Structure 1
């Protein structure tokens, strides 16, 4: 067996799982949720009134109403998944202590017997296989079986009425994928989430105009068909495995990352606040298909505020269908980094992007902040680029006239907290966004 050596380092933490009862390491107190952000127990804080789309209707309280029997402190991935699965239907609080690793034993431990990456490369080399048909045969079947093993290992299904919170300043999840799927009322806070590395990407020789491409799976966090979700004060990053460290095969990057945070398949009423998104390519997708109008129309309502994006190539976010409110975010693009765009304007989207700050390095085009994928109007007012008020739509249309964008998203957000002046946003957000910075 010969696979690339990713996620081969154990965390050094080997706490045995001895039943779900062992996860309950002491009561934090029962009771109902209290309104607002300032309850002194971080694990029982709820989303404040008027704080983005996730505050609409019943609001978002996560597991704040959990009794003491359903408060868990976990230090391993196995414990974490067990806490998620325990007592279906009960509100729960899961405290993640330290860095837990979903693939602590490395990729080789997930490989199907007989899978050999060097054999895979030899069998599907374009010089041998060509670029006209998708790969098939023994090694592709074994790669798919290996991928299925990883899928089962790293995906963690989050139930309704759950709060997941990191303990202290240095807790989080490495290599796991949080699946918030078809549930209501979830909070994820104060975690450093290192994006999963796909151990077994598939080579598609027909992709990219028949020049081929490596296609990977697994997002750090997926909100799929769920409602009332609050993602707050997390750091989401490629961490130890930046794209710059990935090798090339067949002249193409062996891509092992997908998204950091995707909101898809009819998900709705989501607030993403005070997070740090770092060093990633395809960062955030809101709506995954142009043809998904039957499930996505009238949904995908997402608020993004006071988040920091640095080292991001694209999709911050790319939007389809949704009424997305983006305000008081700080976008940092350094000179020389790979950069595609910030906001992707997709099918039937209604993006309202105002009061944001952009710090663009020398040579970075302001016109590329916006990217037109489909005909859809947006509102983009009172945004500042390098400290100066800038009409992003006008600059885009002047620099890229072949992709003329239309103004006025046709709606005005009402669910906003204090809107800071864009000139103040870098100082505020850079010091307060991300894991370990909750007050």
Structure 2
């Protein structure tokens, strides 16, 4: 039988440089107006992530309008008003988003239901480096996405500079946000995940190292894993993957790391999580360093192993104290907050 325990603060020091100072903490209301984390890094010919800021602003109130706008080749800010139903059709409900797009909900009741968004070229195992036409520079904010017949959002085939922020994800048939096949420089922040099983997949297969090694650099911060069962995230190959200041509540596991992926796990709060962090999961072992995480009423400690490239190599950041996370994150994550 597992032993349940309460840990006021667990600090696992495993070959990682000291983290940034913890004080003074940023205010709960100090929410980002632009991307941070890996989505803000200049690389691959893209200076940060600006979405459709260089183009016109349009408003979609119907399915036809929405699908037309997100597929156009020019930069666009696509505002979503009300509920848009995405058809299944011949695509299993996945609909392509072109480069240089901002998709943002208006108010707190903008919804995409019945289908999901695909950010990326068609799957091609023969492509092993970012192609010049890789989908890039996409922002998705302030939307509720639910009831997809496949993924709610899928990012694939070397897509880069993606910011997924302040959304609500629930009841998809597969992943909530899956990132795979060499995609890179992505931030997933201030989202609420609930009533969902397989939440966040990073790297889809143990045999896909040729596309994934040296890529899949993703920041996950200030997300509310509100009873989302597993894959919060489940990581292969990527390094560094930065998971900080997330609130985990009632999950079977938090972060699972495999195939020599490297995760920095810091300043998170885990409440009633069976396995907060694992490096021995399936496939080859992963690597994880952890610091300043709080575990309450969990069944296992965080597993750590090896060393991981420090995220500050790429970008600066400021942590909330882990003890503040159960207040800050539910008050700031999800829709209607920006």
Whether TM exceeds 0.5 here: the answer is: yes
Aligned twin of 2:153: 221
Matched, 1:313 2:229: yes
Task: Compute the displacement of 1:52 (Å).
Answer: 0.6
Alpha carbons of 1:98 and 1:332: their partners in 2 closer, same or farther (altered >3 Å)? same
Aligned twin of 2:202: 286
Task: Compute the displacement of 1:416 (Å).
Answer: 4.3
Q: Provide the C-alpha distance between the structure 1 equivalents of 2:71 and 2:90, rounded to a whole number of angstroms.
A: 19
Match of 2:41 among 29, 51, 56: 56
Task: Compute the displacement of 1:328 (Å).
Answer: 0.3
Match of 1:158 among 81, 97, 104: 97
Task: Compute the displacement of 1:150 (Å).
Answer: 4.5
* Bigger relative CO (Cα 8 Å, ≥ 6 apart): 2
Aligned twin of 2:111: 172
Say which SS state the counterpart of residue 294 (structure 1) adopts: helix
Spell out, residue by residue over 1:327-377, the C-alpha distance to the aligned partner (whole angstroms, 9 max, x if none).
0000000xxxxx5311111112101111101121xxx54x46436223122
Query: Does the Cα contact within 8 Å between 1:342 and 1:371 map onto a contact in 2?
Result: no
Match of 2:278 among 352, 365, 370: 370
Q: What TM-score do the two structures reach when normalised by structure 1? A: 0.61
Q: Provide the C-alpha distance between the structure 1 equivalents of 2:223 and 2:146, rounded to a whole number of angstroms.
A: 17
Task: Compute the displacement of 1:386 (Å).
Answer: 2.6
Q: Provide the C-alpha distance between the structure 2 equivalents of 1:406 and 1:355, rounded to a whole number of angstroms.
A: 15
Aligned twin of 1:352: 264
Matches of residues 66-105 of structure 1 in structure 2 within 5 Å? 66-67=55-56, 71-86=57-72, 88=73, 90-103=74-87
Task: Provide runs of 4+ in structure 1 moved above 6 Å.
Answer: none
Larger proportion of strand:
2
Match of 1:277 among 187, 193, 199: 193
Say which SS state the counterpart of residue 151 (structure 1) adopts: coil
Say which SS state the counterpart of residue 163 (structure 1) adopts: strand
Q: Provide the C-alpha distance between the structure 1 equivalents of 2:249 and 2:277, rounded to a whole number of angstroms.
A: 11
Q: Provide the C-alpha distance between the structure 2 equivalents of 1:369 and 1:297, rounded to a whole number of angstroms.
A: 21
Aligned twin of 1:436: 336
| Number of equivalences | 284
Q: Provide the C-alpha distance between the structure 1 equivalents of 2:304 and 2:254, rounded to a whole number of angstroms.
A: 17
Query: Does the Cα contact within 8 Å between 1:195 and 1:260 map onto a contact in 2?
Result: no
The farther-off stretch of 221-230 and 377-386 is 377-386
Q: Provide the C-alpha distance between the structure 2 equivalents of 1:369 and 1:84, rounded to a whole number of angstroms.
A: 37
Q: Provide the C-alpha distance between the structure 2 equivalents of 1:355 and 1:368, rounded to a whole number of angstroms.
A: 13
Say which SS state the counterpart of residue 248 (structure 2) adopts: strand
Q: Provide the C-alpha distance between the structure 1 equivalents of 2:264 and 2:277, rounded to a whole number of angstroms.
A: 14
Task: Compute the displacement of 1:406 (Å).
Answer: 4.5
Unaligned runs of 5+ in 1: 1-44, 104-109, 111-148, 198-217, 239-255, 334-338, 397-404
Q: Provide the C-alpha distance between the structure 2 equivalents of 1:416 and 1:312, rounded to a whole number of angstroms.
A: 29
Task: Compute the displacement of 1:428 (Å).
Answer: 0.4
Unaligned runs of 5+ in 2: 1-32, 121-133
Query: Does the Cα contact within 8 Å between 2:166 and 2:191 map onto a contact in 1?
Result: yes
Say which SS state the counterpart of residue 266 (structure 1) adopts: coil
Q: Provide the C-alpha distance between the structure 2 equivalents of 1:406 and 1:54, rounded to a whole number of angstroms.
A: 26
Aligned twin of 2:296: 386
Task: Compute the displacement of 1:407 (Å).
Answer: 2.4
Aligned twin of 1:341: 253
Query: Does the Cα contact within 8 Å between 2:279 and 2:288 map onto a contact in 1?
Result: no
Say which SS state the counterpart of residue 326 (structure 2) adopts: helix
Say which SS state the counterpart of residue 236 (structure 1) adopts: strand
Query: Does the Cα contact within 8 Å between 1:341 and 1:371 map onto a contact in 2?
Result: no
